[in-house]
Structure 1
Amino acid sequence: MTRHAALLEAVAGITGDRPVDGRRVGGGDASEIYEVQLAGGDVVIAKTSLADLPGAMVAEAAGLDWLGAAGAVPVPAVRGHDDSWLVMARVEPGRPSRAAAEQLGRDLAALHAAGAPAFGAPPPGGPADAWVGLAPMRNEPSADWPEFFATQRIEPYLRRVVDEGTLSASESREIARVCDRLPEIAGPVEPPARLHGDLWGGNVHWAADGRAWLVDPAAHGGHRETDLASLHLFGCPHLDRAVAAYHEVAPLAPGWADRIPLHQLFLLLVHVVLFGRSYAGSALSAARSALAAA
């Protein structure tokens, strides 16, 4: 069966409506994204993984539902999913604006305040073994944030890149020092926040309604500074306005800006896993900055 035929068959089974046609509109290293016109008049978005990622669609669907249930930040409504495909409502694209960025900051503050049962808790109905891009990601409740971040967000990826020869033993020891000192450098204790979990700028969808919607989550219970640090990693339009608005609603703990490299270390190690040595220097720099800021 061709990919196009598989798309139409999956969307018909998930929505109960007959697809008229579909066209690819996006995707990347991990997925393909299609826009599908249904006979009933709706236009939906269908997403599929480019690799065999068990549980990926249920994890993403559960994450979108959990983020949406907070009533804080807009996310696409989930129409349904199967093992290979996720179908969502289409959100008309727009352009970034200062006003939308400020609203995004306020929305993120409300989302994080909605909370989570524990650090590392998966969304309700979501699997413990999820994915961030094409990399596996474990979500298992932990006693506190330093334990969670060390055991589920740094050490698994560090072990893998050392085993694969991407980082040397001496480089891995530098990063491992971050885990050793996490209770000291993590900042003030905070309750578990409801996180998007992979909030780089590409997962912010600037919509025609003047809002910034969130897509492609790796949702879990975590530290709210992680989402904000992720937005700083590759840039986001009007980020200064988003952060200022967030801070007005839910002031961040002193020293939060110095802890940005600490929180970015997770996604940088994921990039080392996925893309190799080209991100090794950035991961090492983040680890050194995190330790120097303590």
Structure 2
Amino acid sequence: MRFTEELGSSHGRRLRRGVLDDGREVFAKSGDAAPELFASEAAGLRWLGEAATVPEVIEVRPDRLVLSWVRQERPGAAAAERFGRSLARLHRAGAPAFGAPWAGFIAELPMDNSPCDDWPAFYGERRVLPFLRVAGLPAAEVALVERAVGRIGEVAGPAEPVARIHGDLWSGNVLWAGGGGVLIDPAAHGGHRETDLAMLQLFGLPYLDRVMGAYREEWPLAEGWRERVPLHQLHPLLVHVVLYGGGYRESLMGAVRRVLAL
């Protein structure tokens, strides 16, 4: 493999474009990541790829992950609708349980993917509380988040089948190509489908209204899903507090207050 372009870095990992001996273009991440991080990403991509469009995993080893290159296009309404429908089909592909049989990571942060049969327990104990413990929030704010976690079972809405979710679905992890969306950088696991949708709404996406409309045509959402968006944003907002500091505290606490008001 010959590297042709430096693409900067992300979370301490070097990003490069390259060409294989057979002429195929590739994207490579490298660096001293946690031993299981690249293997986790590769496992998630392969699993999502059973039901969605993802880059091909060409090579994975402890210090490097090589994927097929994605030639990006400008987003449009038709592509957004196609992506919405494909996302619904991905979620519907399901999973054996909440969690996954591989180590979990979001960015460089580890997550507990131990299987669980109960989503409120999984979300509170495996996604929200571990990040709350290392977020460095004042005691009063910690107490409010803990109160919100205590209400998950009450406000989660009707029980949903375990969905096959991306787990870190912000706009930067959706590449527009092939007339639709290509998923990259997953924190994939069996989860609640509203979690992916809430993440899209947290940071926005081109033509998001078209994505959501097509999704709901393919697989309607349970009543009250809009009101539950802040619940599903607790985890990503806590992750951002841990990674980037107090700039996300106000958004986090706003979500917490909306959950407590449900």
1:25 aligns to 2:7 (yes or no)? yes
1:234 Cα deviation after fit: 0.8
**Partner of residue 98, structure 1:** 77
CA distance in 1, matches of 2:2, 2:238: 42
CA distance in 1, matches of 2:110, 2:117: 21
The correspondence for 1:246, drawn from 209, 215, 221, is 215
Query: Scaled by the length of structure 1, what TM-score is found?
Result: 0.86
Secondary structure (helix, strand or coil) at the match of 1:287 reads helix
**Partner of residue 153, structure 2:** 183
Residues 117-163 of structure 1 show CA distances to partners (whole Å, capped at 9, x for unaligned) of: 101234xxx33xx21012211101112100000001111011112xx
CA distance in 2, matches of 1:24, 1:289: 43
Once the two structures are overlaid, the 10-residue window that deviates more, 134-143 or 261-270, is 134-143
1:52 Cα deviation after fit: 3.2
Secondary structure (helix, strand or coil) at the match of 1:69 reads coil
CA distance in 2, matches of 1:146, 1:39: 48
**Partner of residue 278, structure 1:** 247
**Partner of residue 16, structure 1:** none
CA distance in 2, matches of 1:228, 1:31: 27
Amino acid at match of 2:203: F
Pick the structure with greater CA Rg. Answer: 1
**Partner of residue 118, structure 2:** 144
Tell me if the contact between 2:33 and 2:108 (Cα under 8 Å) persists in the aligned partners: no
Q: What percentage of aligned pairs have identical amino acids? A: 50
Tell me if the contact between 2:94 and 2:163 (Cα under 8 Å) persists in the aligned partners: yes
Once the two structures are overlaid, the 10-residue window that deviates more, 84-93 or 244-253, is 84-93
Tell me if the contact between 1:229 and 1:261 (Cα under 8 Å) persists in the aligned partners: yes
Query: Scaled by the length of structure 2, what TM-score is found?
Result: 0.96
The correspondence for 2:97, drawn from 111, 115, 118, is 118
Residues 258-280 of structure 1 show CA distances to partners (whole Å, capped at 9, x for unaligned) of: 11111011000001111111111
Tell me if the contact between 1:195 and 1:220 (Cα under 8 Å) persists in the aligned partners: yes
The runs of 5 or more residues in structure 2 that have no matched partner are none
The runs of 5 or more residues in structure 1 that have no matched partner are 1-18
Amino acid at match of 2:239: V
1:43 Cα deviation after fit: 1.1
The correspondence for 1:199, drawn from 169, 180, 201, is 169
1:23 Cα deviation after fit: 1.6
1:92 Cα deviation after fit: 0.7
CA distance in 1, matches of 2:120, 2:60: 34
1:176 Cα deviation after fit: 0.5
